[in-house]
Amino acid sequence: RHAWSLRAQLLRDDWPADDLRVKKKQLLANHCAGGGACPNTGGKGAHRRQRESEARSRRREEGRQTRRSIPPHNMDVLFRSNCGMITGLSLLLWFVRASSSKEGCDSPLVSNLPQSAFKSSSQLSNSHGPGYAKLNRRDGAGGWSPLDSNKYQWLEINLEERTEITALATQGRYGSSDWVTRYLLMFSDTGHNWRQYRQEDSIGAFSGNTNADSVVTYKLQQPVFAQYLRVLPLDWNPNGRVGLRLEAYGCQYKSEVASFDGASYLLFRSDPAPGLSAKDLLTMNFKSLHHSGVLVHMEGQHGHTLTLELLKGKLFLHFRKGRSTSGDFHTTVSLGSLLDDQHWHHISIERLRGHVNFTVDKNTQRLQLPEHQSHFEINEISFGGVSAVGAHSRGNFHGCLENVLYNTVNVIEQAKEKQVSVMGNITFICSEAVDVPVTFASPESFLQLPWAMSRDSVSVSLQFRTWNKAGLLMTFDLQHQVGVLWLYLSEAKTRLQIHKAGRVVVDITAGSGLNDGQWHSVELSVRRGRLVLAVDKADASTTTTSFPVMPGHHIFLGGCPNPEDGSGCRNPFSVFQGCIRLIHLDSSLVDLIKVQQMLIGNFSDLQMDMCGIVDRCSPSHCEHGGKCTQSWSTFHCNCSNTGYSGATCHSSIYEPSCEAYKHRGNTSGYYHVDMDGSGPIKPQLIYCNMSDKAWMVIQHNNTELTKLRASSGTNQHLAYFNYSADAEQLGAIISQAEHCEQELSYHCKKSRLLNTPEGAPFTWWVGRSGEAHTYWGGARPGSQQCACGLQEDCVDPEHFCNCDGDLDSWANDSGVISHKEHLPIRLLAVGDINRPGSEAAYRVGPLQCYGDNDFWNAAYFNKETSYLHFPTFHGELSADISFLFKTSSSSGVFLENLGIKDFIRIELSSPTEVVFSFDVGNGPFEVRVETTEPLNDERWHRVKAERNVKEASLHVDHFPGVVQKAPADGHIHLQLNSQLFVGGTASRQKGFLGCIRSLKLNGKTLDLEERAKITPGVQPGCPGHCSSYGGLCQNQGRCMEKYNGFACDCGSSPYSGTFCHKEVSAHFRPGTSVAYTFKEPYELNRNASAQSSSIYSDLTLKGENISLSFRTSQAPALLLYVNSYYREYLAVLLNRNGQLDVRYKLQNNRDTEVFRSSVRNLANGQLHRVSIRRVSESLGVQIDQHTKEDFNLTSDVDFNAIKAVIIGKVHESGEMDPEIARLNSLGFTGCLSVVQFNSIAPLKAALLYPDASPVIVTGPLTESNCGSSSSSSPYAAETTHSLSDHFGTIGTGEPVVNAISSDSALIGGVIAVVIFVILAALAVMARFLYRRKETCQTQEPKGTKPEDSPETPFNTDPHSQSIINDTQKEYFI
């Protein structure tokens, strides 16, 4: 007791730290010298008290053993003789204890309180009273127990002054079966308007005891500052009653407060500083009685102001420059919500040069000020408001401020000492409002109040706040049961209805937007037949009634009791969830404390004397700009137009690169690319050029060739390049890409470039880092050379650039910059353009990158005991994990990360099941996806798992995903501390055997390959991609393995493109011919010579596979002709009726066989696809989607010694059949596409490989997209961006900046029209002349074949073979 009194004296005097030690020595020395009992010494009573204490430290145990070894009669002598030594030791121990207590703030707060400091809702008996609820005490009945064990009981403790509470310990009632298993902790400064303590902003309940004696202690994550504590039991031992003993731990709390009445304020003028302050810090606490008002206003030099304003329960921090409300600079940041709840809230504003950290309670916003705002000196600060002159606000602050510290100045303390100007009525105690709110939190909540008024008028009013758009506010039966009145929320408006005899006789509304969480007043008044419904004393609706509107016996608020209770209350609407206060019945305030004590009215599931509203959107869990909306119990994120999805807009809906889009089978086009997935970098619309590589093309504002002419007075031309992606996006694209490049070209005429070999460069460019570079495209960094200097082929060998020769004729230096660290080009400075005759032009192409280092980053685990480890995964509130795997094993753990209790794990539990499991403190949680196909098939499979505060989801490939909701009001923080294990576990469970690729955690890719290089049992990389991606190769394209990915070989396909998907088409004119030739058979060509590019035709065909597409309005027309050195031929043509004929002549002594399709009118200008397949004498013809038609040959089935495959006009007609010759004379006008004869694609060879193929092209032939049908891709149509530009007028070498002229375009259009008219006339004449009877034998189809035939018109099997005999020699294009 003496030690505590001395300590209290020291604390009360508030000594400085250095003087504190001296003062302690003086007090203790005087105390011992005066015969007082020294601390921890003297007397049997002291020994007895010490033996009864429950301290269990080793030091005290040793002290007890020492005291037991000394005879009692010698104790006093021993202690008094050693008073000086003991005093010093006691002082040291006391000081250590005091220091540790101050630092740890963990002193017991309840054990020394008098019984009058305890209150409870009820008590079982006097010996079960609340005063016996002290930890480890056995007084009375050994603890507190209420009269009834239900959820409306509470135990309250008055700590006698505002105190900092850091921990709470509970115990059951001694020697009983009574203990609490779960409880709520409430706190208050007044004993009213309680606030619930929440862990992690969501967990409200604490776990209690499992027996009567053990102590369960909780260290509060955030300390509580309050005078009153209240514990509400929720659950207890089912075989006993509520029984409780407790202790709170903490320390004294120093508080300096000032109360403002809404018109007063403190004015603080700072001392002029010798220099500008680089740092300012303002901290304080506030409690508001009104939802709006100015808390702080700072005035600086040059019109700089900072204003902290409370507006509708939210704090806004305004930075302005300028006296007007708009100013020439104004930025605002907002934090917090529901801050008008009459509870204390903490504010901190820290400015460090241009960085501002704005903190409200536990949430911080960081703000970067412009350079001109980052340094300013504060002249004066007003706290609690501003004067009316020049104010930017809506009113002054009404409430209390506490512990206001500006840098090192205690403002309120100085105000007490008259060192700060006090404007208006300010008191230095906090005036507390005594509002008693009640919370309707569950569907069973209701409040029933008696109505005993008998006057003719009715007046009912209340205030409410809620997030819900709908809910019953009030209902009552009219007197004499003539009807019922309902007042409820509908679409966030108040609506009043009166029903009589089953029909609505009154229906009015008032107010809007009432679900904003703010307090709103509603008043119903009825007087002399006039009914008024008013909301917020402004918006009112009035109506008249012809009957009395008078409540019966009761009024129900929020909801109705169960129908079994016989109350007669009916609620056809939603229940109300929110808070209600200030209920007035006929102008009399309802005493809700009496309701709580069950002295009046009735209620169910209400939280009395508190408003439990929680703003679930502050801070918002919606990421990436998702808009947060909420109801009473949950929140919702609207992810529209954000590019992200999921319950919190966490996961990107876009792929991270063009490489990823390519492996989804997408062709060239514009795509949104999100480089870091769920990370902070925004998605960007980028052109993907899908060639052999997936190129990302990032345009800028000037990719055209720009011409410069000599200009006097201009020494330098600066060109700035603004890209379609911002700096952060560009950096991510370049660092993630395998290769990047950018074309840089310079055309010159008497304009030097780099002034090589030794001069200062005239032209230079700036890259990403802002550093100037003096090397040109195609040269090495730092070389101050152009590409010709590197290759030693410049026009002038004495210079390293062509333009440095300073020639009076056009020259150019061009090349690509491919050093990634220097890209992209941000600025180009051109210098030598001011001399007479100087001319120049430059071009900076778009930035182009290919490859994705993250997409192919893989590791192969070849032992079950092997794994890779990485730093701890931090995904406290949101975690997404995605990867690809392939394996032959039936199970294994993909990854695992552990905490003390929390964990996260993804595993293959069986060949058809993936499990995502975790624990954030609510117990293990599992999400399982079962697949209909085995996953251990050595093919790549994609896994994507996400966990956030609302739900957990798991997706595997294209199978239906599984989403499970998180428990309501559960723990939300995932707290891990071990290393992240990939391919195995810390617990040595069965590891993973196989490959894992592209492992991303919250958008960041783990470098598996780099870690695998130094890990036994794990190999970097993982080959074998065709098993998964081979299906992307279409139209007989063949998948070819690459180390990072695959490629489609289209050599055996008439298609081209990345996936052999692009039709190779050309427009034919009457004279156009494409002939794919073969050498004569050896026995016919003994003495002849042939082109080396031909191949011998010493083969015999017993079948053909022919496919082609065409579009024409010409009939008749020859589409394809195959002839032989033995005068045999095959012809595919349209007859005069637009039908398809297939003609075979395989024997000289037999007539031509004609096989005619029944499909008519094929010369209709539409695209048609034809498939012809012959096997021996069987012939099948299919056109478009029509039924396949079958025919039989009656002649020889051998097609010998093919000479040529010809499409278009046959120019070497020779001994051609007369009928075919007449058709051939007309040529073919129209479009031919994807022409294939067995393994030969003559049109593709002529268009794409004319120099390497045995093709002869006669007449005009240009590639076209005329054979393209409507694209099946949901994305943009394929386009190609060329890197080249139009250069030069012929013969001059001058670059052409714009090669398009409106006059030439007009002339070209006229010529095209004339040609079209002429061709149309020729086609009509040819058809007229051809009308005669055919002389050849014609065979109609013998029947149709069902659609389930295995012979498909377009075979996509890459391993299929043409029907050719064993001696055939194939030529692949």
**Distance (Å) of CA 999 to CA 856, 925, 995, 1236:** 10, 22, 11, 43
pLDDT of residue 372: 62
3-state secondary structure 748-797: EECCCCCCCCCCCCCCEEECCCCCEECCCCCCCCCCCCCHHHHHCCCCCC
1229-1282 pLDDT, tens digit per residue, is: 999 999 999 888 999 999 988 888 899 999 999 888 887 764 333 333 333 333
Q: What distances in angstroms separate CA 851 from CA 72, 137, 658, 672, one per listed residue?
A: 89, 72, 8, 17
Predicted confidence (pLDDT) at residue 1051 exceeds the cutoff of 70: yes
Higher pLDDT, 320 or 608: 608
Q: Is the pLDDT of residue 1324 over 60?
A: no
DSSP string, 4-27: HHHHHHHHHHT--HHHHHHHHHHH
Question: 262-266, 792-796, 1242-1246, 1298-1302: which has the minimum mean pLDDT?
Answer: 1298-1302
> Which of the four pLDDT bands, split at 50, 70 and 90, describes residue 713?
low
Query: 745 phi and psi, to 5 degrees?
Result: -130, 150
When pLDDT is averaged across residues 912-936 and rounded to a whole number, the result is 94
What average pLDDT does this structure show over 1283-1297? 40
In sequence order, which residues have a C-beta less than 8 Å from that of residue 1260 and are 6 or more positions away? 1069, 1071, 1072
- How many Cα neighbours within 13 Å face the side chain of 147? 7
Q: Which has the higher per-residue pLDDT, 870 or 1148? A: 870
Stated as kind and residue range, the H or E segment containing 885 is strand 879-886
- At 1347, the pLDDT band (50, 70, 90 cuts) reads very low
- Least confident span in 264-273, 309-318, 534-543: 264-273
The residue type of 1078 is F
What per-residue string of b and e applies to 251-279 under the rule 16 or more CB within 10 Å gives b?
A: bbbeebbbbbbbebbbbbebeeeeeeeee
pTM exceeding 0.85: no
Q: What is the pLDDT of residue 1293?
A: 47
Residue 715 has a pLDDT of 77
Lowest mean pLDDT among 99-108, 326-335, 962-971: 99-108
pLDDT at 712: 62
Note the pLDDT tens digit of each residue in 21-70: 444 444 444 444 444 434 343 333 333 333 344 443 443 444 434 333 33
* Separation of CA 673 from chain center: 13
State the pLDDT at residue 1277: 35
Phi/psi-derived region of residue 613, left when phi > 0, alpha when psi is between -120 and 50, beta in every other case: beta
Q: Most confidently modeled of 74-78, 135-139, 1053-1057?
A: 135-139
**196 phi, psi to nearest 5 deg:** -85, 135
Q: What per-residue confidence (pLDDT) applies to 388?
A: 62
**What is the pLDDT averaged over residues 176-182?**
96
Helix, strand, coil percentages, rounded to 5, for the chain: 15, 35, 50
The reported pLDDT for the residue numbered 1322 is 58
Distance CA 1033, CA 1060 (A): 6
Structure confidence by residue, pLDDT tens digits, 593-632:
999 888 999 999 999 999 999 999 998 999 999 999 999 9
DSSP-derived secondary structure for 520-569: EEEEEEEETTEEEEEETTTEEEEEE-SS---B-SEEEESS---GGG----
Q: Residue 1302 — pLDDT band, cuts 50, 70, 90?
A: very low
Q: How far apart are CA 1056 and CA 1234, in angstroms?
A: 9
Helix axes 58-68 and 44-52, enclosed angle (nearest 10): 140
Angle at 676 between CA 671 and CA 677, to 5 degrees: 70
> How much is the pLDDT for 71?
38
Calculate ∠ Cα 450-452-458, nearest 5°.
100
CB-based burial label for 190 (10 Å; 0-12, 13-18, 19+) = middle
pLDDT in tens, 1361-1372: 333 333 333 332
What's the confidence (pLDDT) of residue 85? 42
Under the banding of pLDDT at 50, 70 and 90, the label for residue 490 is very high
790: left (phi over 0), alpha (psi -120 to 50) or beta: alpha
Helix (H, G, I), strand (E, B) or coil at 100: helix
Helix ranges restricted to H, 615-671: 658-662
Enter the tokens of residue 847.
């930035």
> Could you tell me if 675 and 657 are in contact, meaning their C-beta atoms sit under 8 angstroms apart?
yes
β-strand partners of 682: none
Element (H, E) at 171: strand 155-171
Q: How long, in residues, is the chain?
A: 1373
Indicate the SS3 state at residue 462: strand
**What mean pLDDT is predicted for residues 452-458?**
78
Give me the pLDDT at residue 1313, please. Answer: 47
**Quick check: 156 pLDDT over 80?**
yes
Could you tell me if 356 and 367 are in contact, meaning their C-beta atoms sit under 8 angstroms apart?
A: yes
Segment among 191-200, 842-851, 1025-1034, 1238-1247 with least mean pLDDT: 1025-1034
Q: How many CB atoms lie within 10 A of CB 459?
A: 17
> Which residues are within 8 A (CB) of 959 and not within 5 positions of it... i.e. 6 or more apart?
929, 931, 932
Residue 1065 has pLDDT above 80, yes or no: yes
Helix (H) or strand (E) holding 499: strand 493-500
The top-scoring range by mean pLDDT among 267-276, 303-312, 1296-1305 is 303-312
Q: Does residue 1355 surpass a pLDDT of 70?
A: no
> Which of 125-139, 380-394, 1205-1219, 1326-1340 holds the top average pLDDT?
125-139
In the DSSP assignment, the letter for residue 1035 is: T
pLDDT at 4: 37
H/E segment holding residue 1101:
strand 1100-1101
If one compares 14 and 468, the residue with the highest pLDDT of the two is 468
pLDDT of residue 1275: 34
The more confident residue out of 538 and 156 is 156
Helix axes 72-81, 44-52, angle to 10 degrees: 100
For residue 276, what pLDDT is reported? 55
Please provide residue 732's backbone torsions phi and psi, each rounded to the nearest 5 degrees: -70, -40
965 band by pLDDT with thresholds 50, 70 and 90: very high
Please say if the pLDDT value at position 103 is more than 80. no
pLDDT band at 172 (very low <50, low <70, confident <90, very high): very high
Question: Would you tell me how many other CB atoms lie within 10 Å of the CB of residue 457?
Answer: 13
C-alpha distance from residue 421 to each of 264, 382, 402, 430 (Å): 11, 9, 17, 19
Per the model's pLDDT, the better-predicted residue between 1332 and 828 turns out to be 828
What pLDDT was estimated at residue 454? 67
pLDDT for the residue 130: 96
At residue 274, the pLDDT reads 52
In the predicted structure, residue 572 carries a pLDDT above the cut 60: yes
% of the chain with per-residue pLDDT over 70 = 81
For residues 1346 and 421, which has the higher predicted lDDT (pLDDT)? 421
The per-residue pLDDT for range 511-566, each reduced to its tens digit, is: 999 999 999 999 999 988 899 999 999 889 999 988 888 888 899 999 999 887 77
- Under the banding of pLDDT at 50, 70 and 90, the label for residue 375 is low
Task: Name the average pLDDT for the chain.
Answer: 82
577 vs 453 pLDDT, higher one: 577
| CA-based nearest residue to 1284, from 703, 525, 504, 603 | 703
Using one digit for the tens of pLDDT, what is the confidence trace for 782-816? 889 999 998 989 998 889 999 998 898 999 999 99
SS3 state of residue 52: helix
Rounded to a whole number, what is the distance in angstroms from the first to the last CA of the chain? 103
Alpha carbon distance 410, 404 (integer Å): 6
- pLDDT at residue 10, rounded to an integer: 39
